[in-house]
Chains A and B, each alone.
Chain A
Amino acid sequence: AQSVTQLGSHVSVSEGALVLLRCNYSSSVPPYLFWYVQYPNQGLQLLLKYTSAATLVKGINGFEAEFKKSETSFHLTKPSAHMSDAAEYFCAVIFATNKLIFGTGTLLAVQP
C-alpha cells in the first residue's frame, strides 16, 4: 500500500540551528510530494511541492526539500530555525486523483 513515513513525531531545535524533518514514501512511481505546515487551531498551509521538475525545491519561509528517488525521500530543511517556525509539519504524497496521503506529522519545537 502507498504510504508516507515521517521519522520523529517530535523534533526540538535551538533558535538559529538547522531544521531537518524526515519524510520517506513508498512508491514504485515517482509521485507528487508536498510539505504542509499547521499552526495551532488552524488548517494546513502549503510550504512547498515537488512535481517532477527540479529535485531541490524551495518553499516559503526559507524552507526547502530535496527529492531523492534512490532513497524514496523528501526531507525538509531550513538552515536557521526561527521561533515562528514552531508548528506541526506534514509530508504528503499524491499518487492519483488528487488524493493526498499524509504522514503522521512532526511537531517542531524551537527553543530560545
Chain B
Amino acid sequence: ETGVTQSPTHLIKTRGQQVTLRCSSQSGHNTVSWYQQALGQGPQFIFQYYREEENGRGNFPPRFSGLQFPNYSSELNVNALELDDSALYLCASSFPDRDTGELFFGEGSRLTVL
C-alpha cells in the first residue's frame, strides 16, 4: 500500500511570489486534507477535498486555494506569499466512507518565505 507522498520537501520563496505544493494520497483514499504547521505550533486545518470538491475550509484567506484531481492527488496553491506563510504544510489522506476519521499524513513540505 503506497503511503502519502508530498513534493517538494523543502522550498524557499520570496514575499509576493506564488507556490504550488503537491500531494499524492494513499492508495484507495478519496479525501485529502491540508494543514499548516507553523514552528512550535500544532497543525491548523486549511481545507479538505472529497471527490474533487472542496469539503470544508478553515480560517485561511482566499489566496490559499486547492485542487483535487480524478486520481485523488491534490495541490495546494498559495498566492502573494507573506512571511507568516513560512511553515510545514502537511497533506493527509483518508477514506471517510470506511474509516473512523483516521488521517494518514505525508512527511510535509517545508516552505520558507524570505
Identify the A interface with B (CB < 8 A): 32, 34, 36, 41-46, 49, 51, 90, 92, 94, 97-105
Contact = CB atoms under 8 A, between A and B. Distances in A.
A46 B108 CA distance: 15
A98 B30 CA distance: 12
A98 B94 contact: yes
Nearest to B103: A100
Given A44-B92, A49-B102, A100-B35, 19 more contacts: A34-B101, A34-B102, A36-B105, A43-B106, A44-B105, A45-B105, A51-B101, A90-B43, A98-B31, A98-B96, A99-B56, A100-B43, A100-B45, A100-B92, A101-B45, A102-B35, A102-B44, A104-B42, A105-B40
B90 to A, nearest CB: 6
B109 to A, nearest CB: 10
A32 B102 CA distance: 9
B2 interface: no
B100 A49 contact: yes
Interface of B: 4, 31, 33, 35, 40-45, 48, 55-56, 58, 90, 92, 94, 96, 100-108, 110
Contacts of B108: 42-43
Contacts of A49: 100-102
A34 B104 CA distance: 12
A102 B107 CA distance: 17
